[in-house]
């Protein structure tokens, strides 16, 4: 037997199309600094600091103790699909057949990724309103399509117009992603903006993915309207939602999609061959969450709104920083251009010198390098301390 040089092993080109998640990277960096004994306030990761309501946990426990721990229908258990359909009808005015038009997924992200895989081909283009959640573009690239950024301006509070959209559409455009309330800006689309988006999508013959994961986290009497409910839009819209944010269930990994049966049938092929089904006992808990009292959700939103006020007031008091209005979700996306650093430079300085973890704006699009994202799902005391630390860093930069 002769020795031969081992063949060089390679990875698929699709992995070269994306970078690791910057939010995860900053959280891991934060954990490392804390392990070294550093004091770090983590405002980077987007999850509620509340525990899952007890009655939801009890529903999962009862399911597990009764032996409900096996595979279930890939579409999701009937009880939960019916609860989702009832919720969509009652809260959003959307009528979906729970047997054919609803799928329970392993978090909203899996619903999004599987849907994108089902809708786009190699070479297609997907319009992404920017600032945009960090995972939209990687999902699109992994599916072989090309994300096309549509930069929105902080000068007019990230307003969407049909005229702006017209500048970015092409013959290859297949899909547009809509996210309201928005991560990272906290912006809620107005009825006129939704109508402009609907008119544009219908005229261009585009699919629409409507990411509505933050729909219950609204402030100042703002209301959520699903674009799927606008005239002519249901047949070309996929509604993505989940339990993570509103019910403090990020670790449960439970989401759903609602769409025309043709889309569901295509998406199910990916869903069945990748995850089989969402966790069985967790689905019992999700059904309890949707059908049970919403008092704890409303209580969380009230606290988020109070924290929003603390965050905006504190950011506005920092020299070189301005903060647009925050209408929903639990993020602040201040403009930090007055401090003279890129978003990555400032995020690193704020973490290492100030002990505050944020996410650099560049993670949300090339046009966002003059911003940082802070998640204010932390105690008021932590937020106040974080703002004081940020103020110290800013003053040192401007001295």
pLDDT digits (tens, 9 = 90+) for 131-188: 999 999 999 999 999 999 999 999 999 999 999 999 999 999 999 999 999 999 999 9
Q: For residue 141, what is the domain's CATH number?
A: 3.40.640.10
Which pLDDT belongs to residue 23?
77
One domain, residues 349 and 281: no
Report pLDDT digits (tens) over 233-283: 999 999 999 999 999 999 999 999 999 999 999 999 999 999 999 999 999
Contact 102, 235 (CB under 8 A): no
Q: Are strands 255-258 and 237-242 parallel, antiparallel or unpaired?
A: antiparallel
One domain, residues 30 and 173: no
Which pLDDT belongs to residue 3?
62
For the chain, 399 residues long, the average pLDDT of each consecutive 10-residue run is 68 84 81 89 94 98 98 98 98 98 98 98 97 96 97 95 97 98 98 98 98 98 97 98 98 98 98 97 98 97 98 97 96 97 96 96 96 97 98 95
One domain, residues 115 and 183: yes
One domain, residues 299 and 286: no
One domain, residues 283 and 299: no
Q: What is the mean pLDDT of the chain?
A: 96
One domain, residues 287 and 322: no
One domain, residues 249 and 179: yes
Decide which of 291, 326, 355 is a domain's last residue: 291
Q: Note whether residue 135 is domain-resident.
A: yes
One domain, residues 46 and 78: no
State the residue for tokens 């910057």: 22
Which pLDDT belongs to residue 6?
63
Which pLDDT belongs to residue 28?
87
Nearest to 150 by CA among 192, 109, 200: 200
Enclosing domain of residue 99: 68-291
Q: Note whether residue 150 is domain-resident.
A: yes
Burial 225-246 (b: 16+ CB within 10 A, else e): bbbbbbeebbebbbbbbbbbbb
One domain, residues 276 and 299: no
Nearest to 217 by CA among 242, 234, 197: 242
Q: Note whether residue 316 is domain-resident.
A: yes
Which pLDDT belongs to residue 4?
64
Q: Note whether residue 266 is domain-resident.
A: yes
Q: Note whether residue 7 is domain-resident.
A: no
Q: In what order do the strands lie in the sheet with 125-130?
A: 102-105, 255-258, 237-242, 207-211, 173-179, 125-130, 146-151
pTM of the predicted protein model: 0.94
| Cis ω before 72 (30° cut-off from 0) | no
Decide which of 291, 316, 341 is a domain's last residue: 291
One domain, residues 116 and 239: yes
Please tell me the total count of domains within the chain: 2
One domain, residues 348 and 228: no
Which pLDDT belongs to residue 9?
82
**Partners of residue 102 on adjacent β-strands:** 258
Q: Note whether residue 104 is domain-resident.
A: yes
One domain, residues 27 and 92: no
Q: Note whether residue 175 is domain-resident.
A: yes
Supply the DSSP symbol for 224. Answer: -
Which pLDDT belongs to residue 120?
98
Which pLDDT belongs to residue 5?
60
Decide which of 240, 258, 291 is a domain's last residue: 291
Which pLDDT belongs to residue 292?
97
Which pLDDT belongs to residue 24?
80
């Amino acid at each position: 037997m002769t020795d031969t040089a081992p063949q060089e092993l390679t990875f698929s080109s699709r992995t070269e199309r994306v970078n690791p998640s910057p939010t995860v990277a900053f959280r891991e960096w934060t954990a490392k600094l804390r392990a070294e004994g550093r004091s770090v306030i983590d405002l980077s990761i987007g999850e509620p600091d509340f525990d899952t309501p007890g009655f939801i946990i009890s529903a999962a426990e009862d399911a597990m103790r009764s032996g409900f721990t096996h595979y279930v229908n890939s579409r999701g258990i009937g009880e939960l699909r019916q609860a989702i359909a009832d919720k969509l009808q009652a809260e959003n005015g959307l009528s979906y057949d729970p047997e054919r038009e609803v799928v329970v997924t392993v978090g909203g992200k899996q619903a999004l990724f599987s849907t994108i895989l089902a809708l786009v081909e190699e070479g297609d283009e997907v319009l992404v309103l920017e600032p945009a959640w960090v995972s939209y573009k990687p999902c699109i690239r992994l599916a072989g399509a090309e994300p096309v950024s549509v930069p929105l301006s902080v000068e007019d509070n990230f307003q969407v117009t049909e005229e702006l959209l017209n500048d970015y559409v092409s013959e290859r455009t297949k899909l547009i992603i809509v996210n309201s309330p928005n991560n990272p800006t906290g912006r809620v689309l107005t009825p006129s903006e939704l109508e402009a988006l609907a008119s544009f999508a219908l005229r261009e013959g585009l699919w629409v993915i409507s990411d509505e994961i933050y729909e219950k986290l609204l402030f100042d009497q703002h209301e959520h309207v699903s674009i799927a409910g606008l005239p002519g839009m249901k047949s070309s819209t996929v509604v993505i939602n989940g339990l993570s944010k509103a019910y403090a269930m990020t670790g449960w990994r439970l989401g759903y999609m609602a769409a025309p049966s043709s889309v569901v049938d295509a998406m199910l092929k990916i869903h069945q061959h990748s995850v089989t089904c969402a966790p069985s006992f967790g689905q019992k808990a999700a059904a309890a969450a949707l059908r049970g009292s919403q008092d704890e959700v409303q209580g969380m939103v009230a606290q988020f709104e109070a924290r929003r006020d603390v965050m905006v007031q504190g950011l506005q008091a920092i020299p070189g920083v301005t903060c647009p209005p925050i209408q929903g979700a639990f993020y602040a996306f201040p403009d930090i251009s007055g401090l003279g650093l890129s978003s990555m430079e400032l995020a690193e300085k704020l973490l290492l010198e100030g002990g505050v973890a944020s996410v650099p704006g560049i993670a949300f699009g090339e046009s966002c390098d003059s911003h940082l994202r802070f998640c204010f799902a932390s105690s008021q005391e932590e937020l106040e301390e974080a703002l004081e630390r940020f103020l110290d860093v800013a003053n040192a930069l401007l001295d």
